[in-house]
Amino acid sequence: MAVEVGSVFPSVTVKHLTADGMQELSTGDVFKGKKVALFALPGAYTPTCSAKHLPGFIEKAAELKAKGVAEIVCLSVNDPFVMKSWGAEQKAGDAVFMLPDGNGAITRALGLEFDATAFNLGIRSQRYAMIVEDGTITWLAVDKPGSFEVSSAEAVLAAL
């Protein structure tokens, strides 16, 4: 069952690549005590994700933060190495935190997985955006499969 507005963001530990090497990261630490705009997408380096979704949040980062967002998080079912490289190539810098969900544990816990095996991509995340305040989901928009309509940076700005 998928999470909904009012759900507590699930506590999951994943691996994250830092300047000090591979580290464990708890989603509880990511969302505790602050307002976070999280957007998820099917995969790093995929066309819509690279051309529109991530760039939109990088471009609108200052506006989101001006509306009280402490952190912007990009989640994808990709390994830490891919997420770090993709973030660097897209010039995400400090604007967007690239959260790798390499085994899909966060995505499954949220109930927002997408079976892309027909495209030889395995199990991925649906495309969505949410606002999480102190660990509780206060706004959620999930795109229909194959579309990019309700999870953009502009949609999140409008919801704030």
Q: Which amino acid is at 79?
A: D
Q: Which amino acid is at 158?
A: A
How many Cβ atoms from other residues are within 10 Å of residue 2's Cβ? Answer: 12
> In the block, which residue shows the tokens 């579309």?
147
Residue 74 bears catalytic tag: no
Report the Cα 155 to chain-centroid distance in Å: 14
Exactly one of 49, 83, 96, 140 is catalytic; name it.
Answer: 49
3-state secondary structure of 145: coil
3-state secondary structure of 139: strand
Active site residues: 49
